[in-house]
Structure 1
Amino acid sequence: MPSTSRVSVIAAALVLGAASLSACSSSSSDSELPKNPSVIILSGDGMGPQQRTAIQYYLYGLDERQPMDALPYTGFLDTIPGDPEYAVTDSAAGATAWAIGKKVPNGTTGLGPDGESVPTLLDIAQDRGMSTGLVNDHDITNATLAAFGSPVPDRDLKVDIAKGYLDRGIDVLFGGGEKYWYPEGEPGKIPDEGEDDVSEGDENLVARAEADGYQYAYDQTTFDALTGPKALALVQDSAKRRSTEIEGYDYNTDPYYVAPEKLVSKALDILGANDKGFFLVIESDDLDSDGHEHDAQNMMLAGESVNNMVKVITEYQKDHPEVLLIVTADHETGGMTIENVLDDGEPEPNSDQIADDPVPYWAEIPENMPLPGGGVPKRSGPFPIKGTDREFKVDWTTPEHTGTMVPVTAAGPLAERFTGVHPNTYVYDVITELWGHN
């Protein structure tokens, strides 16, 4: 990473740290805590400080703070995994640290450091009589959500994860990944656009869910009809990303696309009916894919969804102040940096790091690889800073995860606990303190 990029990250950390210290002037006492507090964790998978900054510049400019950064309390979480030999986490270990309050080896999904079964936050919530929900803009059976709702020895056991959700009776399950819920040869409800959409399950888990009392939705009309208390929605997977990867596809006209903020709004309506509160985990998995693929254009679309989800939640908090919202990330992906488009009249060259996949897949020339001489690929910019004449581009140092600390912002009861710098296991600590469990 160029030295100027390292300086920018350190400067951002200092600014956020200063904001955190000033926010510490007030704190919640036990007597002020609500009787039945609800908790929402919103993870921008792979979203480090630079991703949040780029989304801020492109969508909101310099004068209006983006919703995920406008929350009143700010801090940082480390992302170190439990492996003694590794400095960089994967999503499974990162989310498991939140879910069980322990550092675990990479690949561990909701289980303890030695692979043992331990209660997750979702289990604790259910024991309290709370409603529970999982929402994703991509595959709902991915590692982050599985760490809470369906612990498995291998994060790639997608069908087993789906079965685990039903075994636990999680009330709300909204997202993509329909192919894991239908057996091979049975296409499901959403038209298959390619090999990645073909069903690969071993039984019809949708039929099982409906037999268990779940309402099922697969498009906008059926989704609007959901009332709960148990609801499963398997809608178009990663629709915004498809719009820039599949020629001729437009998510705005796709009847199977349901906007992530709409998924969240419906989840709140259903889960909020429980007077004992609820526990909801939301993820934008597309952000992580965009980092792996060095696709800043799609990263901006995913960032738009994250901010829209935060707006829905903070509006909900106005009438439900007992809800704690935590917005953070399991790790950073791509080693992303923000750079000038021009430096003394000459372009600052992009690196030659090779992304996990060429994007878009159907293009003859991938748009996420540096051009000859370090030219800026289409997916890396330039991007305008909204409301100004300035532009920036992004660059990448790796197609994999990095070990940087990630920002955490929060609002609601005990949100002030997140000021400062903490291990990622601290998410568990604060939530169990709020619930009086620790």
Structure 2
Amino acid sequence: MNPAVEFGRRLRVLAFHALLLCAAGCGGTDENDPDTLPKREKPARNVILLIGDGMGPAQLTLARIAGPGVHEGLALEKTPFVGLVKTYPAGTMLVTDSAAAATAFACARKTTNGTLGESPDGTDYENLTEWCRKRKKSVGLVTTASVTHATPAAFAVHCPDRNKEADVAQEYLGAGVDILFGGGLQYFPETRQAAFREAGYGFVRSRQELLGAERAPLIGLFADRFMDFEIDRPREVQPSLEEMAMKAIQILSRDEDGFFLMIEGGRIDMACHGHDAATMVRDVVAFDLAVQYAVAFAERDGNTLVLVTADHSTGGLAIGEQVSVDRLRGRTASAERMRELTVRGNRPLPDVVREHAGFEVTDRMLAQIEALKAVGDPKYSLHNAIADVLSRAAGVTFIPLDVQATHLVTKGHDGCDVPLFAWGPRAADFTGVLDNTEVGARIRRAMEAGK
């Protein structure tokens, strides 16, 4: 054998054995066990958890393709600390809803679908708001859905039925949340607002009022139910998710004891329930801007852990080989808005669809919309039909509407694992494949690391 080749071989063998010895000597902790994670970093005084509701891997991929582009990528992708989250709820179902998933993050415990902050038998779990209050940390909850919707609610209240949103609104009164931004005005009648004001809360109702607000506790309610999809958002009235995140961080960061902030892109899920790929892309991109702001704050601050994940994936979204970026980018209104223009505006459906689709709509497509109108819940059937046909024309498909109609619990969620991205102190603890309850447990541990 050539002496140089033999020397190289021996050198590689020696290096390999040295690596094994180092690994053995440096061991002693199980990186998948939150109770034995190494205390090598300072604690995270603050945690910002951003949840894209329904934002699975396919949603992120499509948003990258049709948003900033395949070469630029999303801000949330730009970290070396990446993991996957398993989303199973308690019980026999393998597909979670937002209530069970958010409870796992907020309480580090499993529960059944539809339940907020409680065990399946009705025992209250300690949620992150209660945990933070014991440590004198401030708490903020921000969403583009209703503030009484499942994801924000699980972080602060206990309720056996996520649909009892008026009860959720009432329970917020004693929960001790400092910042509460989103939709849901209909659940805060004047009598309830008066009770919150008596407890010291201020209220803002518009983008301008929000930008001028300076103190907590503060509630911002910017829509009767859900805030508009980003593609339809009235810019002068409703703040963006990024603007709500900015204001929440600005106020909460004054607390020297630290804060926990949950920010939800709540309408990503709803666009996918409705098979509206182009609308979903806009909401993921808007969510990504909030992520970008949170990460920039964390990099300046040095004491903030930022986590980005999803509660579940929605719709069984698939990106076909004929996907059209131009058709996804060209849309000027959501299918939900097109339905309103047709039904409430008394305009012919073909005219509305052709105006807002962003591409030429054929008579065949219009016939497909008419055929799909008969499928599923009549309340949603028209805009689901519009969205499904326009998404297919852009090369994107979802669970067939007739199959989705049989999903009686989640109305169209799917069971795949969801991504997890992390920045800041203890970010390395959020890599690998984790159960959603482990994410909740490690958030608490991150804020107490080294103690």
TM (norm. structure 1) is 0.76
Which residue of 1 is the match for residue 391 of structure 2? 380
Whether the 8 Å CA contact 1:111–1:151 is kept in 2: the answer is: yes
Whether the 8 Å CA contact 2:116–2:162 is kept in 1: the answer is: yes
1:176 corresponds, among 175, 183, 187, to: 183
**2:326 matches 1:326:** no
> Relative to structure 2, which stretch is displaced further, 63-72 or 276-285?
63-72
Give per-residue Cα distances to partners, 1:350-400, cap 9 Å, x unaligned: xxxxxxx977323336979996499995641655xxxxxxxxx21001540
Matched residue type, 1:67: A
CA RMSD of the aligned region, Å?
Answer: 2.8
Distance across 2 between alignment mates of 1:111 and 1:178? 25
2:95 corresponds, among 88, 92, 105, to: 88
Change in Cα spacing, 1:294 to 1:211, as seen in structure 2 (3 Å) is: same
Whether the 8 Å CA contact 1:294–1:334 is kept in 2: the answer is: yes
Distance across 2 between alignment mates of 1:52 and 1:180? 32
Distance across 2 between alignment mates of 1:103 and 1:411? 26
SS of the equivalent of 1:149 reads coil
Distance across 2 between alignment mates of 1:295 and 1:170? 33
Which residue of 1 is the match for residue 362 of structure 2? none
Which residue of 2 is the match for residue 403 of structure 1? 415
SS of the equivalent of 1:306 reads helix
Give per-residue Cα distances to partners, 1:177-212, cap 9 Å, x unaligned: 111111xxxxxxxxxxxxxxxxxxxx6222222221
Q: Aligned runs of 1:177-256 on 2, under 5 Å?
A: 177-182=184-189, 204-236=191-223, 238-241=226-229, 244=232, 251-252=234-235, 255-256=236-237
Distance across 2 between alignment mates of 1:401 and 1:239? 21
Structure 1 residue 242: Cα displacement: 7.8
Which residue of 2 is the match for residue 258 of structure 1? 239
SS of the equivalent of 1:133 reads strand
Whether the 8 Å CA contact 1:371–1:377 is kept in 2: the answer is: no
Whether the 8 Å CA contact 2:230–2:279 is kept in 1: the answer is: no
Whether the 8 Å CA contact 1:370–1:377 is kept in 2: the answer is: no
Whether the 8 Å CA contact 2:51–2:263 is kept in 1: the answer is: yes
Distance across 2 between alignment mates of 1:167 and 1:394? 45
SS of the equivalent of 2:101 reads helix
Change in Cα spacing, 1:395 to 1:381, as seen in structure 2 (3 Å) is: closer
SS of the equivalent of 1:316 reads helix
% same residue: 32
Give per-residue Cα distances to partners, 1:11-62, cap 9 Å, x unaligned: xxxxxxxxxxxxx9xxx9525313x611111111111100000001111212
**Length, aligned pairs only:** 362
Greater helix content: 2
- The ranges of structure 1 where at least 4 consecutive aligned residues each deviate by more than 3 angstroms after the TM superposition are 236-240, 357-360, 363-379
Stretches of structure 1 lacking an aligned partner (at least 5 in a row): 1-23, 183-202, 245-249, 344-356, 384-392
1:156 corresponds, among 163, 166, 184, to: 163
**2:294 matches 1:313:** yes
Stretches of structure 2 lacking an aligned partner (at least 5 in a row): 1-30, 32-36, 325-334, 343-348, 358-364, 373-385, 405-411
Distance across 2 between alignment mates of 1:70 and 1:31? 23
**2:285 matches 1:278:** no
Which residue of 2 is the match for residue 141 of structure 1? 148
Give per-residue Cα distances to partners, 1:397-430, cap 9 Å, x unaligned: 1540011111111111111122111111111121
Q: Aligned runs of 1:5-16 on 2, under 5 Å?
A: none
Whether the 8 Å CA contact 1:293–1:359 is kept in 2: the answer is: no
Change in Cα spacing, 1:381 to 1:312, as seen in structure 2 (3 Å) is: farther
Change in Cα spacing, 1:142 to 1:239, as seen in structure 2 (3 Å) is: closer
Distance across 2 between alignment mates of 1:279 and 1:358? 34
Distance across 1 between alignment mates of 2:366 and 2:84? 32
Change in Cα spacing, 1:407 to 1:112, as seen in structure 2 (3 Å) is: same
Matched residue type, 2:283: A
Structure 1 residue 342: Cα displacement: 7.7
Give per-residue Cα distances to partners, 1:300-358, cap 9 Å, x unaligned: 12112111101110111122121111111111110000012289xxxxxxxxxxxxx97
Change in Cα spacing, 1:358 to 1:278, as seen in structure 2 (3 Å) is: closer
Which residue of 2 is the match for residue 97 of structure 1? 104
Matched residue type, 2:172: Y
Distance across 2 between alignment mates of 1:412 and 1:377? 40
1:429 corresponds, among 411, 418, 441, to: 441
Larger gyration radius, structure 1 or structure 2: 2
> Relative to structure 2, which stretch is displaced further, 373-382 or 145-154?
373-382
